[in-house]
Every structure is written in structure tokens, then in C-alpha cells.
Structure 1
Amino acid sequence: MTLQLPAMPTLAARTIAVDAPEDLLALIPDGGMAWVRRGDGMIAWGEVARFDSRGSSRIDDAATWWRRLTRHAVVRDDVHVRGSGLVAFGSFSFADASVHGGTLIVPRFILGAREGRGFLTEISDDGAHGHAPDLASALGTTTPAAPLPRLTEEDGDRDAWNAAVESAVARIRAGEVDKVVLARAVGAHADSPVDPRSLMPYLAREYDGCWTFHVDGLVGATPELLARVDHGLVTSRVLAGTIRRTGDETADLARAASLAHSSKDREEHAFAVRSVTQVLASHCASVNVPDEPFVLHLPNVMHLATDITGSLDHAATVLELVRELHPSAAVCGTPTLAAARLIDSLEGLDRGRYAGPVGWIDGAGDGEWCIGLRSAEIDADDPRQVRMFAGCGIVAASEPASEWAESEAKLEPMRHALRLG
């Protein structure tokens, strides 16, 4: 079946230099999007164009739409840093069958900061810009974030989790899969609508090494980079293998050493590294994979981590890589198709955009996409309803109690941001 795309507007993007904002998230208007790490990144607001897609071809369809949209776009960029010029933000569901599908959004305005340099982009759909954008006019009369309402968390179904993990371990030992990632969702209900702007400052402050994001109701602080493409260089950060922090520095150093030498966690990590390396190797002239993972220290947990880099040997866009990398073994399992079938049979939930790709792409096809972890989804129809997610990699040595504890640790960022714990 031929993809039926909407009529393409002629976009024009104009980027100028501005003073670098000290705090991007303090300026984000109501309904705005965000992509920030260690003070650098972008906030965006307004909507010039949007593409929604569903099914197994959702990422390909969005990439085709973006390619057609950018083909005749007029771009004047005075800054030329990562994220300046024409940009779209997006997120995609984890599963092909999810009702959430995927979305690419072209904003009206983008305010960014890169290594001390600030920029402001205005995008129009009339094919021309006769003036430079003005930040004060672009921000207009921005209202402050609504105070976070009181939320009540639903109880987790531990019995169902234990049964799912035990079943997964049995099927791994039977040779059906090598690894499967199981997730759980925890709902919370608020007295009034939840404003994502009330969550992001906490996430950015406490998890500054993560990518704090908000795209279309999905908000979080993820530590896992699926793919960054920047002028032919591709980077991916793989995380798999987790241990909870105690808050005691001496004890945590010992736990980090234990994680680094854990055969169960190293096995889980190796599956994830292999799945990403195989994809990148098909697109790169060379791929660099460190011999050993390092331990990534976050405020709530520690992960085994590997940064994989490569040099592209052809003009692949970041969305092309995202489509092939997702789902990686870090969020699905190994082998991928068998693990996905096992997830369908054991999990009993629609992950929505949890563990799916979230990020941005520019007019040249470069961009940065992470895995939507440590996240919550604010219900579009009823923003008083929030779902938080956490997942764990299950291998033959996994035990339900330890996996439950790991999932509880992974829920901490969103629980604390929502003031639930």
C-alpha cells in the first residue's frame, strides 16, 4: 500500500544568535517541548506542522514525511550549531500495535543553548521570512508552570510481576529466548491537570547527566542515548545491568565493583551491546566498541554502560538508524522477535511511548534520539491521569524479588518529580 502523505507546506526557518539562556526550562511556555542536558539543549513551542503515524512503518513513514517536508524548505541559519535551523521533535511507541503510534512536530519557535552560545529559530509555513525573530515577542505573555497538584499512586501488582518474571525465567532456561525485558506501569491520579513544566526542573537538576525531555505529554529524564548523528559521526550509549544506590559512598563504591563483576549483569549488558553494534556496523566504515563497560553513576541507580561510536559510510539519517536500532536488546531482549512475542504474552500492558524513541531531527537528517526511559505519560484526554513506567532485563539468573527492587529504584526519578515518595 502506498503511503498517503498530506500536502506539504513550504517551510522557512530563520535562526539568529541570542544571549545564551541561563535556564532554558524556566522559559518554556505552556504546552512547550524540551530537550535539555547539563544546561544545553532546546525548548520549543507552537506548532507549524505535525505528522502522526501508527503501525510497524510508523518511523519509516515519519522519516519519509520529514524528507519531503525539508526538500524545499528555506533555511537561513546564522549560528550553525547542533539544533539550530529547521528541527522537528518526535516520539514513537515501543510496540507496533500500540494505539499511541508516533509523532513528529515542527514547532513555531525554538530557543537553544550550546556551549555558551544561544540561538532562536522561528519557523513559518509560508516559505519566507522577512525579519529576524524577536525573543520577547516569541515568548509573549508566558504563564508560569501550574503548581504540582496532589497525586495519589495506585498500588503495584507484585503477584502479577512475580508470576511474569518466573515465567520469563522458565522460558529463557527452556531456550526460547536469551533475554527479555519486562516492564510495569504505575498509575497516579491528580486533583487537577499535571503541568509537565512543574516536573522538568527537578529532573534536570537531580539527573543532569540524563536527557530531560518533554514531547507531546511524554516527560522524563533518560540516561540512554539510542543514536546521535552529527556530521557523519554516530554515537550510541548502551545501558543494561543495574544496581540500586544506598546513599552511602563507601557502600556504593563496593556495589559498583560488584556490578562490574556480576556475571548476570554482564551477560545482560553483552546482549544489548551486541544488538546495537550489529546495526551500526551495517552503516559505518568503522565502529569502536570498548572492551569493557564502565559503571554509570546516577542519583538512584548505577548501570553498566558502553559508549559505541562509528563513522557513517553513507548519508544515513538519524531516523533511519533509529528505525533499525529500535527495539534494542536493552529494552526488548534477544532474539528481538522472540522477546517481543514473549513481552506481548507476559506483560499485560500497552507500554505506549515508554522505551520507545524520543528526540529530534534537523533538516540535514542529523539529530539526537534517546530511549524514553525514567518517564511518565500524561494522559492527553485527561491530564489528571499519569502513568509511570520501569523495566528490567530478565535473564536465566533473574529472581522476582531483586527485579522488583530494581524496578522500584527506576521509578524513583518520576515518583520524586511527582512528589509521590
Structure 2
Amino acid sequence: MNFALGVPDRLVVRTVPVTEPVDLLARLPDPSALAWVRHGEGIVGWGEAARIVVPGGDQDRFAWADRRLRELFGSALVEDDVRVPGSGPVAFGSFGFDPKSSDSVLIVPKAVLGRRDGVTWCTTIGDGADPLSLIHPRTQPTGLTWSDGTLTASGWTHAVAAAVERVRAGHLGKVVLARDLHAVADQSIDTRVLLSRLADRFPGCYTFACAGLVGATPELLIKRTGDRIDSLVLAGTIARGTDPADDRARSAALFGSAKDREEHSYAAEMVRDALIPLCTTLSVPAEPELLTLSNVIHLASPVHGRLDGDRSVLDVLAALHPTPAVGGTPTDVALDLIRELEVMDRGRYAGPVGWIDGRGDGEWGIALRCAEIDGARARLFAGCGIVADSDPQAELAEAQTKFRAMQYALEG
């Protein structure tokens, strides 16, 4: 055992098909959940066969993580009777937003349940514990109290105003500013309850959990299946209306908004420019479409391509993160301004979250609409793209709308 990394010398992995119907989230046995689920499909895991803490700093942390996983998975004894993306050995991962962050972690669970395109399977590593074992009872969060995060609402709007001045002065084109919100329950928060509520309320989002980070992100940063890659760029947001007519009016306003279209174009163009060198073919729409969720409407651009070589999903992540949808442009200038104006450590908020298997396939989103859970404490996050035409009060209202997903998950 490599105790520094929490990594065994060799994994013994067994994947078999499951014939009975399985509710993935309902089968999680305890609150230390690992999950990536959308429309009832995906993978969930529990236990730890290995944990790799990814160092921050100037090195390419995605390449470092990819090498460690290739070594670990390459030496594994694997029996995989299913052989679909997500079967065999899998690592769930969550990376810190800032490249210098030391918060990034990869976890190889002892047990995994998965479902894809009607195929269901279970994977065990090591002791062969039954992945369909009975679960421990779930506990609803109660006695929640709320408090401001690093900045009050007034303090955050002042930061937004300062960012708008920098953009108008020509220092940068866009910056994404985030704020946090704190909640405390009267006992430890059961992440399984949050996952179930999020999956029920936002079935079209990717409901995720990794090392205490829980959320439901609408944004697919990258999906790799063999040489095919898919991404969904989201930037530009408006709250849902009170009825269908109001929804239509708001959708039209968002689609016609010069401010939101500018914000979206920065993100879509960066993803295109980052992926072109990695692909033989790449399809990026000329203009965005509308993505309607239960609480907000986004401008969205679906991107599809074919990789030009043997690149794992982590290799592609290295080229993409951080996108202007969560950082800004130019990237280095935006990151410096974020560090100056947010006055907080984002941790893993707005960083990549997802999974990778032994073939290099995987799905990774951006950790949005999420909270870090630590015992009875929850730290929620929300961010907004700031451009020259941004209004601080409107951005505050947008951030409050984005908080509601996790507030609902906690309060029910």
C-alpha cells in the first residue's frame, strides 16, 4: 500500500451484469456517497479502494492525475463482463477551481452500481462486499440556520461594480464572480437526501457527489466515449417565469440580450479554440439555443467532436478548464481579479467534477449549483458572468436564483 496516496499496490476488480431493476441513488448504503446520475442513469459508488490527493501548484495536475490512474488501473486484475463506459475500475473525481488549489481528489470506490442504455452492472474491488446490501436509514436535514458567507449581499454587489469598471476600462472582456452562503443543521447532513431531492427536481442535470461536494450541474464540460467527445457550453441565464407566457417572454429576452449573447460567445469560442487542436472533426453551432430547467433558462451550445489520438477524458479537461463560463477572459487576468474581488477560496466550486474509467472514458461537469458538506455544515455557491453591461443588482438576483437549487435540497 502506498500510504502517502492511499493507493494499494494492485486492485482486484470484478464487474458483472445485474438483471433486476435498480434505483441507483436509493441503493447508496451510507452518507459517504459518490454519484454521477442523470435521468436515472449513471454510476454511484461507496467505500474507498484507493484515494489519490492531487497536488496543486504549477504542474499540470490533470496530467499528473492521469498518470497515477493509468499506473493504478494498468496494474489491476480486471474481470469485466459488461465492458461499457463506467464498468471495470472507475475513479470519481473533483478538482479545485484554482490551478494552485490542493483540494483536488480522485476516489476509487470499493463498490459501484451503474446503468447505461438499459444495461445495469455492479463492480466490486477488493473484499467483494455485496454492492446490493441493505442501506442505513436516511436522515432529513433539520434545524437549519442560514448566514452570509464571505461577503454580504451589499459587499458582493460592490465587488460586481468594481469588476464592471475593470471590464469597461478594457482590462478584460469578462469575469465570473461567485459568492457563498452558509447553513448549519442540528445534526450531520445526509448527502443521499440531497442527491435524491436534486435528482427529482432537476432530472436533466447531472446530480453528483464526491468527497462531500454535492450538487446538480446543468453544464457538461466534457464526455469522452472512445474517440467521440461531447460538451455543453452554458453562459447567459434568466430566472423562469410565473407561467408559460412569462417563460416565453423571458426566453425571448434572454435570446435577444446583447449582454448575455456576449457572455455566451466568450465561453463557446474558448471551448472551440481549446478543442480544435485535439480533434479531427469538431461541430460548434453558429448561435446558441435555449435550455430550460425547472428554475432557470440558459443560453446553451452543444459541441461534438472526434479526438485525433489516444487522449483520456482528463487530457481533454486539461485543455478546457477553466472556461470563460466559470472564470472569464483573458483567463489569467480574470483569475487574478477573482482572487482580488471574491475575497474567498472557492475550493472545488466551479472546478471539474465527474468520473473516469480504465479505458479513459468518462463524464465531467462543472461543479455548479452545489454545496460542500462537512458534518452539519453546508457551504453553498453561486456565480455570475460579469461583462461591460452587467448591473450589480441584477447579478445579485441571478445569484440568489442559483442558490435556490441547493436551498431546496437542504430544506425540502
8 Å CA contact 1:98, 1:350 repeated in 2 = no
Change (3 A) 1:20 1:271: farther
Deviation (angstroms), 1:22:
4.2
Aligned position for 1:29: 29
Aligned position for 1:189: 184
| 1:400 maps to which of 385, 392, 401 | 392
Task: Name the aligned partner's letter for residue 254 of structure 2.
Answer: L
| 2:109 maps to which of 89, 104, 107 | 107
Aligned position for 1:150: 143
Aligned position for 2:68: 65
Task: Name the aligned partner's letter for residue 64 of structure 1.
Answer: R
**Is 1:358–2:350 an aligned residue pair?**
no
Aligned position for 2:317: 322
8 Å CA contact 1:5, 1:65 repeated in 2 = no
5 Å matches for 1:276-287? Answer: 276-287=271-282
**Is 1:206–2:209 an aligned residue pair?**
no
8 Å CA contact 2:7, 2:52 repeated in 1 = no
Structure 2 unpaired stretches of 5+:
none
8 Å CA contact 1:327, 1:336 repeated in 2 = yes
Q: Provide the secondary structure at the position in 1 that maps to 2:92.
A: strand
2: CA distance between counterparts of 1:41 and 1:19?
16
Deviation (angstroms), 1:142:
2.1
5 Å matches for 1:20-419? Answer: 21-30=21-30, 31-56=32-57, 57=59, 58-99=61-102, 101-124=103-126, 137-155=130-148, 157-379=152-374, 383-419=375-411
Q: Provide the secondary structure at the position in 2 that maps to 1:170.
A: helix
8 Å CA contact 1:38, 1:209 repeated in 2 = yes
RMSD of aligned alpha carbons: 1.6
Deviation (angstroms), 1:64:
1.6
8 Å CA contact 1:20, 1:112 repeated in 2 = no
2: CA distance between counterparts of 1:151 and 1:299?
24
TM-score (normalizing by structure 1): 0.93
Deviation (angstroms), 1:123:
1.6
Structure 1 unpaired stretches of 5+:
126-132
Q: Provide the secondary structure at the position in 1 that maps to 2:52.
A: strand
2: CA distance between counterparts of 1:169 and 1:419?
34
Q: Provide the secondary structure at the position in 2 that maps to 1:401.
A: helix
Cα-to-partner distance string for 1:279-330 (whole Å, 9 max, x where unaligned): 1111001110011211000011000000111100011110111122111100
Deviation (angstroms), 1:413:
0.5
8 Å CA contact 1:357, 1:369 repeated in 2 = yes
Cα-to-partner distance string for 1:390-415 (whole Å, 9 max, x where unaligned): 00000000000100010011111101
Aligned position for 1:129: none
Q: Provide the secondary structure at the position in 2 that maps to 1:282.
A: helix
Cα-to-partner distance string for 1:34-91 (whole Å, 9 max, x where unaligned): 1110010111111111100231333332212101112222222111222111111010
Matched pairs, number = 404
8 Å CA contact 2:148, 2:180 repeated in 1 = no
Deviation (angstroms), 1:378:
0.7
Identity %: 49
